Amino acid sequence: MKLLHAAVVLASTMLCVLGQGIPRPLQDPAPLDPAAAGPAMRIWSHRELGMQEVWFRREFKLTAVPDEATFVFSCDNEATVFVNGKRVAHSEHWEELTVVDVTRLLVKGKNVIAIHAKNTGSCAALAAWLTWESAAKKAVPGVPAVVATGGEIVTDADWVYADEEHDDWAAVAFDASKWNAANATLETPFGNNVYNGKPLRLRFENGRSASAQAIERALAQFRAARTPAAAQKALDALDRAVMDARARLWKEKGNAAKKGGVRVRKRD
């Protein structure tokens, strides 16, 4: 029976992918390291509908604030992600992966990832990964050492969901004890989209995304400029965008210095 169920789910997946059509890649993205996290399960409501909204939550505890934390997700069709009540990302394309820096949002103790997912036709599924890493220094006289410790959370049956929205549903203090366990089906390796395919694009979201988007808009205007005046206007916009990005970065570095210095990740 398990083999039959797996075959049915696999066939359904192929119909979903073929039925929706796959656009040509916008770019050839550098893949994420598949060894950076384990596989995630595709999850959804136990009652899958063609037009549907589902609200997911996953609670977890951290013994310390990590030095780095990244959330990666892919959803058919749309997903809006919240970390500890704050919106961090939105995606409307299951073919891509969205990569979000959530380091500054995680806290010691209880944390919550909340996702509002939408299905706008055909099949539906969500796959997501949260990974974090900290550098724990060993106090050994005369032998400086750094030991990397970390963890991960992936979509699986430990996530819970509701078929209707509740007030403050994304808040840390919200009581989701009566929500249902998610319906977890097939595995998706880290680095692939929700249907286990190579992502057509990697979208990165972090505290610098707004600055990067302003720079990209100015560059697009410069490329499209047909007159010297239009090109100059675009370059002026680019100058302002770069200056704003520098100011934001200086502020970020200053805040990091106040907390004990800018962290530099050490690699072998």
Summarised one tens digit per residue, pLDDT across range 29-62 is 456 888 889 999 999 999 988 899 999 999 999 9
Report yes or no: 72 and 129 within 8 Å, Cβ to Cβ. Answer: yes
- Asked whether the predicted pLDDT for residue 204 surpasses 50, the reply is yes
Q: Which of 28-42, 60-74, 184-198 has the lowest mean pLDDT?
A: 28-42
Domain that holds residue 138: 2-206
Highest mean pLDDT among 4-13, 106-115, 219-228: 106-115
Domain end, chosen from 206, 231, 250, is at 206
Q: Kindly state whether residues 63 and 152 are assigned to the same domain.
A: yes
Check residue 26 and give its pLDDT. 37
Q: Kindly state whether residues 233 and 120 are assigned to the same domain.
A: no
Helix (H), strand (E), coil (C) string for the chain:
CHHHHHHHHHHHHHHHHHHHCCCCCCCCCCCCCHHHCCCEEEEECCCCCCEEEEEEEEEEEECCCCCEEEEEEEEECEEEEEECCEEEEEECCCCCEEEEECHHHCCCEEEEEEEEEEEECCCCEEEEEEEEEEEEEECCCCCCEEEEEEEEEECCCCCEEECCCCCCCCCCCCCCCCCEECEEEEEECCCCCCCCCCCCCEEEECCCHHHHHHHHHHHHHHHHCCCHHHHHHHHHHHHHHHHHHHHHHHHHHHHHHHCCCCCCCCCC
- In one-letter notation, the amino acid at residue 152 is E
The band of 209, judged by pLDDT with boundaries at 50, 70 and 90, is: low
Look at residue 268 and tell me if it is in a domain. Answer: no
The band of 5, judged by pLDDT with boundaries at 50, 70 and 90, is: very low
Q: Kindly state whether residues 156 and 84 are assigned to the same domain.
A: yes
Look at residue 98 and tell me if it is in a domain. Answer: yes
Check residue 244 and give its pLDDT. 84
Between CA 168 and CA 175 the distance in angstroms is 10
Look at residue 59 and tell me if it is in a domain. Answer: yes
Q: What CATH number has the domain bearing residue 45?
A: 2.60.120.260
Q: Kindly state whether residues 32 and 154 are assigned to the same domain.
A: yes
- Asked whether the predicted pLDDT for residue 66 surpasses 70, the reply is yes
Between CA 89 and CA 73 the distance in angstroms is 10
The band of 203, judged by pLDDT with boundaries at 50, 70 and 90, is: confident
Q: Kindly state whether residues 191 and 229 are assigned to the same domain.
A: no
Q: Mean per-residue pLDDT for 119-123?
A: 90
What the block records as the tokens of 180 is 């249902």
Q: Kindly state whether residues 221 and 126 are assigned to the same domain.
A: no
Look at residue 105 and tell me if it is in a domain. Answer: yes
- Total tally of structural domains belonging to the chain: 2
Q: Mean per-residue pLDDT for 170-179?
A: 97
Q: Kindly state whether residues 114 and 188 are assigned to the same domain.
A: yes
The band of 249, judged by pLDDT with boundaries at 50, 70 and 90, is: confident
Q: Kindly state whether residues 118 and 165 are assigned to the same domain.
A: yes
Look at residue 263 and tell me if it is in a domain. Answer: no
Q: Which of 9-18, 126-135, 195-204 has the lowest mean pLDDT?
A: 9-18
Check residue 18 and give its pLDDT. 40
Check residue 268 and give its pLDDT. 40
Look at residue 113 and tell me if it is in a domain. Answer: yes
Q: Kindly state whether residues 96 and 198 are assigned to the same domain.
A: yes
- Mean pLDDT for the chain overall: 82
Q: Kindly state whether residues 132 and 71 are assigned to the same domain.
A: yes
- Asked whether the predicted pLDDT for residue 74 surpasses 50, the reply is yes
Instruction: Report the DSSP pairing between strands 86-91 and 160-162.
Output: unpaired
Q: Kindly state whether residues 90 and 215 are assigned to the same domain.
A: no
Look at residue 51 and tell me if it is in a domain. Answer: yes
Look at residue 245 and tell me if it is in a domain. Answer: yes
Q: Kindly state whether residues 82 and 145 are assigned to the same domain.
A: yes
Q: Mean per-residue pLDDT for 99-122?
A: 94
